[in-house]
Amino acid sequence: MNERQRPVSILLVDDEPANLAALEVVLAPLGQRLVTAGSGREALRHLLREDFAVIVLDVRMPDMDGFETAELIRSRPASRITPIIFVTAFPEAEHDLERAYRIGAVDVLFKPFVPESLRSKVSVLVDLHQKQRSIAELLAKAQESNRAKSEFLNLAAHELRTPLAVIVGYLSMLADGTFGEVSPELRQAFEILTEKSEELNRIVDDLLTASRLESGVLPRRLVECDLREIARRAVRTARPQAELLSAELHLDVPEQPVMVRADPTYLARIVDNLVTNALAYSQGQPWVRITVRGGEEAVLTVEDHGIGIPREMREQVFERFVRLPSAELSPQPGTGLGLYISRELARRQGGDLQVVDSEPGRGSTLALRLPAAADPANGRQHRRPPWFAGGRG
Ligand SMILES: Nc1ncnc2c1ncn2[C@@H]1O[C@H](COP(=O)(O)OP(=O)(O)OP(=O)(O)O)[C@@H](O)[C@H]1O
Ligand SMILES: [Mg+2]
């Protein structure tokens, strides 16, 4: 059924049965569910059981009047923002108006009111409620499908790991000549197979890491390490790939150590991801520079002259499976998990990862920030930098 057409409930409150009947006649053409209440208390009882798109509330009622009823309606979280239209007699208007708007009425109608006016006002609020409801339902569906997707990927990654390890093991034995002599043609085939299984291994590993990050179980080993050393190692790791692409790979590190307290394997993974991206998302011969700076916070930046990231996508690229389409580049291998994993790992070590600068066609700079470790010179902890507030991770 079309979401917009599913009827919503409207609550009509008046102590005069004749007035209630009149309201029902006026609003019946909207085709929604009309619920009537002869007193404030009865109205509150209905509100406990049901969610209303709008409440039409008479001001003058014995026992509990419309304003007191409205205040009680507002005090409940479930109906704090339910729109209320007050209906009041003209003589008391001035005073009523002021009080009604203070309570948060969306409108005040004077008796005798024009039926079309009430109907069109209620109709707008009904429409709004239906839209909010469909958005909430869409969100719930998206969250559910997201959860199902994560569960599936987690399962798939676990199931793929063992057979993949067996394949890699046999391949290496075949290549070694364990099962007989290997001709040059076969050797080349084994090399390709080995390379592809390594690629597959990386994907499975990323899927597993992502699912562990989500469920919160990822052990870490925090030690003091020099961020310059991490950067140097990343350059060594990227060298073969860079040479294949005839890329320029620059390293700019200070003379003094830049000590951070972190898990070196996580840091290596983050920086490798950043450098791999910088090389992959560049046209022609890529240019990449890794810079390390110390101080109150330690910062490692990876800068490229690649295709760039549009401003409105600077945050989205850190979401799982988000990959940007590119007209300039041929499709690059990848799953869209690299930056998600990298940012999560950075945050779990008290740091953060951001796109600090990027312009389509000109290049990007991503920065990994980490709290500096205790100062080795005087053994004192550096003051925490401002972005570290809030204790992430
Ligand atoms: N340096 C960069 N320059 C331009 N675009 C980038 C850069 N880094 C990332 N992107 C864009 O962000 C997307 C997400 O990057 P991410 O590293 O998370 O995933 P991926 O590279 O697609 O796959 P993988 O999971 O294998 O890393 C990329 O697909 C690319 O569109
Ligand atoms: Mg990547």
Give the mean model confidence (pLDDT) for residues 321-344: 91
Give the mean model confidence (pLDDT) for residues 134-139: 91
Kindly state if the Cβ of 209 falls inside 6 Å of ligand 1.
no
How far is 84 from 216, CA to CA, in rounded Å? 44
Mutate to test the pocket of ligand 1, among 277, 320, 366 (most ligand atoms within 8 A of CB): 277
Q: How many CB atoms lie within 10 A of CB 3?
A: 12
Class of domain 223-388: alpha beta
Range from 31-35, 219-223, 237-241, 275-279 carrying the lowest mean pLDDT: 219-223
Is 70's pLDDT higher than 50?
yes
pTM, two decimals, is: 0.65
pLDDT at 243: 95
Q: What average pLDDT does the chain have?
A: 89
Residue ranges of domains in the chain: 3-113, 148-215, 223-388
- Tokens matching residue 187: 């050797």
Give the mean model confidence (pLDDT) for residues 159-185: 90
Is 180's pLDDT higher than 60?
yes
Is 381's pLDDT higher than 90?
no
Q: What is the pLDDT of residues 221-249, one digit of tens each?
A: 899 999 999 999 999 999 999 999 999 99
Give the mean model confidence (pLDDT) for residues 180-185: 89
Residue nearest to atom 27 of ligand 1 (CA): 338
Q: Which ligand is nearest to the CA of 342?
A: 1
Give the N- to C-terminal CA distance of the chain in Å, as an integer. 43
Neighbours of ion ligand 2 (CB under 5 A): 277, 338
Q: Residue 390 burial by CB count (10 A; 0-12/13-18/19+): exposed, middle or buried?
A: exposed
Kindly state if the Cβ of 274 falls inside 6 Å of ligand 1.
no
CA dihedral 79, 81, 87, 92 (to 10 degrees): 110
pLDDT at 242: 96
pLDDT at 48: 92
203 close to 335: Cβ distance less than 8 angstroms: yes
Is 278's pLDDT higher than 50?
yes
pLDDT at 61: 93
Q: How confident is the model at residue 113 (pLDDT cuts 50, 70, 90)?
A: confident
pLDDT at 110: 86
Kindly state if the Cβ of 264 falls inside 6 Å of ligand 1.
no
Position in ligand 1 atom list of the atom nearest CA 339 = 18
Q: What percent of the chain has pLDDT over 70?
A: 93
Beta bridge mates, 367: 301, 354
Cα–ligand 2 centroid distance for 334 (angstroms): 6
Q: How confident is the model at residue 382 (pLDDT cuts 50, 70, 90)?
A: very low
Is 387's pLDDT higher than 60?
no
Q: What is the pLDDT of residues 257-272, one digit of tens each?
A: 999 999 999 999 999 9
Kindly state if the Cβ of 338 falls inside 6 Å of ligand 1.
yes
Q: What is the pLDDT of residues 192-222, one digit of tens each?
A: 999 889 888 988 999 889 888 887 777 888 9
Name the CA radius of gyration of the chain, rounded. Answer: 32
- Phi (first) and psi of residue 332, to 5 degrees: -95, 145
Q: What is the pLDDT of residues 345-357, one digit of tens each?
A: 999 999 999 999 9
pLDDT at 72: 94
* E strand spans, the chain: 9-13, 33-37, 54-58, 84-89, 107-111, 223-226, 248-252, 259-262, 287-293, 297-304, 352-359, 363-371
pLDDT at 375: 57
The domain covering 3-113 belongs, at the CATH homologous superfamily level, to Response regulator (3.40.50.2300)
Kindly state if the Cβ of 317 falls inside 6 Å of ligand 1.
yes
Residue nearest to atom 8 of ligand 1 (CA): 277
Is 378's pLDDT higher than 90?
no
Q: Which ligand is nearest to the CA of 326?
A: 1
Is 168's pLDDT higher than 80?
yes
265 close to 305: Cβ distance less than 8 angstroms: no
Q: What percent of the chain has pLDDT over 90?
A: 63
342 close to 270: Cβ distance less than 8 angstroms: yes
- Tokens matching residue 9: 């409930």
State the Cα angle at 88 between 86 and 90, rounded to 5°. 140
